[in-house]
Amino acid sequence: SESLVLLGQHGAVRTLTLNRPKALNSLTQAMHVELLAALQQAAADPGVRCVVLTGAGRGFCAGQDLADEGAAPAAAGQPPTDLSLLIERCYKPLCEQLRAMPMPVVAAVNGVAAGAGANIALGCDLVVATESASFIQAFTKIGLLPDSGGTWLLPRLVGRQRALGLALLGDKLSAAEAQAMGLIWRCLPDADFELAVAETAARLAAMPTKALVATRQAVDAAQHLSFGESLALEAREQKALGSAHDYLEGVSAFMAKRAPAFTDR
Ligand code: T3D
């Protein structure tokens, strides 16, 4: 049977494509298994310096497949469905793996991103979306709260009021609106979306990977640190980066007015 997550490699860029287009790439347990394995494989591969997550067909990801085993609500008289099992088994490992990747992760949102699909995208390092894409915090429409990190990510990305506006009302947000409110990095024209994604990913892959990952980690850690503690964390990280090969390469290239060739990972 065909893979539920397609793997592509161009240079040091690994592309993972969610591949259940007929159901807008909504997530089944089988898909979770493949996606987590693909992320772990990319993390362990020294030839991968940037990961792109995208979707096949007209959608990015419509969140949990509501018909899949473990998600469908129990009929009256049946034992209740325990959604925390799916979260523990599937969503928590996925969301944690995404934030722990030892290289930058770009969400290339090619179409609608709904429910967990939206928040998985927002948990990536850079979110770019094609102009016909959209974001929907669909959870409350079916009686749930935003998961996959939504309650953590949304207020940090756009502030409490907009987070609640998005989460409570569950309206469809266009990619242009998402960019305007700072929910995503860029909304890009449909015509050259793939090319623009490839260029951004290739740029990230050519950059000093350890510095990029340390930057993400320090920005996230700062959410619960004082200013002084962040200064101390920056000093610790800078000490490590300053003794790595990529710093020597970066400064040498700058002095020699040539392009750097970063290799640390
Ligand atoms: O398990 C837990 O731990 C709980 C976890 C929850 C996390 C969540 O993600 S909850 C939120 C789940 N997602 C949703 O509620 C979104 C449901 N989908 C939609 O609202 C709409 O599909 C969209 C707004 C995303 C797109 O609308 P549209 O009109 O462009 O497409 P469509 O016709 O609705 O969907 C196309 C097909 O995909 C359709 O199948 P069909 O009729 O052609 O055979 C539709 O049923 C299927 N599909 C879309 N989303 C899901 C889905 N099938 C199963 N689960 C889905 N989430």
Backbone dihedral angles phi then psi of residue 146, each to the nearest 5 degrees: -60, 125
Domain 5-205 and domain 209-255, same fold? Reply is no
* Atom from ligand 1 closest to the CA of residue 148: 7
Q: Spell out the domain ranges in the chain.
A: 5-205, 209-255
* 209 contact partners, CB below 8 Å, separation of at least 6: 49, 102, 103, 104, 246, 262, 264, 265
Indicate whether residue 116 lines ligand 1 (CB < 6 A). yes
Global ipTM: 0.98
| Phi and psi based region of residue 149 (left: phi greater than 0; alpha: psi -120 to 50; beta: remaining) | left
Q: What tokens were used for 82?
A: 């325990």
How far does residue 139's CA lie from ligand 1's centre (Å)?
11
Among 1.10.3470, 1.10.12, 3.40.1000, 1.20.144, what is the CATH number of 209-255?
1.10.12
Q: From ligand 1's centre to the CA of 117, what distance in Å? A: 10
For the Cβ of 142 lying below 6 angstroms from any atom of ligand 1, the answer is yes
pLDDT values of the chain reduced to their tens digit, one per residue, 265 residues: 789 999 999 999 999 999 999 999 999 999 999 999 999 999 999 999 999 999 999 999 999 999 998 999 999 999 999 999 999 999 999 999 999 999 999 999 999 999 999 999 999 999 999 999 999 999 999 999 999 999 999 999 999 999 999 999 999 999 999 999 999 999 999 999 999 999 999 999 999 999 999 999 999 999 999 999 999 999 999 999 999 999 999 999 999 999 999 999 9
**Ligand 1 pocket, residue 27 CB under 6 Å:** no
Distances (CA, A) of 174 to 5, 21, 22, 87, 120: 26, 20, 22, 27, 17
Name the β-bridge partners of 129.
Answer: 109, 187
* CATH T-level fold of 5-205: 2-enoyl-CoA Hydratase; Chain A, domain 1 (3.90.226)
